[in-house]
Amino acid sequence: MALTNLTNTYHRDTYPAISSTNPSLSQAGKTVLITGGGSGIGFEIVRSFAKAKASRIIIMGRRVTVLEDAVVKLREEFQNTEFIAQQGDISDEVSTTSVWDHLNSHNVFVHVLVLNAAHLSPMGPDTLKMERKDLMEAFNTNVWGNFSMTAKFVNQPLRPVGEKLNLVNVSTAGIQMNPAPTQNPYVTSKGTFTALLGRIADEHPVEDVQIISFHPGALYSESGAKYFDKDLIDWDEMALPADFAVWSASPEAAWLHGRFVWAHWDVDELKSDEVITKRLEQETGFLKVAVQGLTEISATSFLKKK
C-alpha cells in the first residue's frame, strides 16, 4: 500500500460507489454553488452535480465569457437543470458580498457550496525570493476568500431553521514532497484554510453543516497547463474528483465530517476498515491538517497539574 493511500484500491477514475448517477447520491431539489466552475475541474464538478439531478447550479467565476460559454454547453447537455452564470471574485470582499446579496434578493437559497476556485501562483523553489504582494494574493484568495464564502453560505438569511447544509472543499492541503515542490505558497495557503475548516467542523455538528475536504488528484487542466507539461505524468481522470465532490455532498459521506481525504481512496474500503473507523471515533485530529509527528493536543493537557 502506498504511503499516500489508506486503502488497497487506488482509483484514477470514477467508480460505482461515487458515481454521480448513483441514486443514493441524488442532489434533486438542491441548489449548488460552485466557485471556479467555468473551466477545468470546476466545470466537470458542475457536470457531475447535473448528472446527480441538481435542480439549479450557480457557476461563479471571474471571467464572464468563460462562464457564459460554459452555461451554453451545459444547457445543451442537461435540459432538466437550471444553470446560472454568476460573475464574482472570491478574493474581493465587495464582490462576494454582492454575489450573496444578489442571490438573497432573488430568493435563491444555496444548499451546497463547492469551494473549487484557487490562486495557484506564485511558484518557485525559493519562497524568500517571492514578492510579498504575490504571496498575499495567494493567501487572500485561498484563505480569506474561501472563509468569506463559507461564512456567507452558513449564515444565509433565507436558510430555514434546522436546514442542513453541505460544504465541499477541493484542496491539495498538506501535500508536501521532497525535494520541496515549486507550489509551496499554494499548498501552504490551501492547508491553512483546510485546517480552519477542521476547526469550524468541530464547532458545527454534521447535522448543521457537513464539511468535507478532499485532494482531487493529479489533473491536467487549463490552469495546470501553465506550469506542467502534459507528458510529465499519467494524469487522473477529471471524473474522479468531479464525482467525489457529489459523494462528499451526500449523506454517504457524513461520517467524514471535518476530515481531509483523497479522491483516490476507495470509500467503501475506508468505511469498512475497523482501524480507520476507530481512529475517526477516538482521534479528533485524525485526517485533519496538523503538525506532523505530534499526537493529539488539547488545552486540558496543558492545564493538568503534575
Residues 6+ apart with CB under 8 A from 303: none
> Is 271 noted as a catalytic residue in this protein?
no
Q: Which of 53, 152, 190, 288 is catalytic?
A: 190
CA 107 to chain centre: 25
Residues of the chain with pLDDT under 70: 1-4, 173-183, 220-232, 291-306
Q: Which of 20, 39, 48, 171 is catalytic?
A: 171
Distance CA 112, CA 231 (A): 35
The pLDDT score that the predictor gives to residue 227 is: 59
Distance CA 48, CA 41 (A): 10
pTM value surpassing 0.85: yes
The pLDDT score that the predictor gives to residue 119 is: 84
The pLDDT score that the predictor gives to residue 176 is: 46
Annotate 219-253 with b (16+ C-beta within 10 A) or e (fewer): bbbebbeeebeeeeeebbebbbbbbbbbbbbbebb
> Is 250 noted as a catalytic residue in this protein?
no
Coil vs helix vs strand at 23: helix
- Taking the CA atoms of 54, 87, 134 and 39 in sequence, report the sign of the dihedral they define: positive
CB-CB contact of 207 with 226 (8 Å)? no
The pLDDT score that the predictor gives to residue 2 is: 47
Return the C-alpha cell found at 79.
435540459
Mean pLDDT over the full length of the chain = 89
Residues 6+ apart with CB under 8 A from 225: none
> Checking DSSP bridges between strand 209-215 and strand 165-170, what pairing results, if any?
parallel
> Is 230 noted as a catalytic residue in this protein?
no
Element (H, E) at 132: helix 132-139
Q: Which of 19, 48, 91, 186 is catalytic?
A: 186
Distance CA 247, CA 41 (A): 15
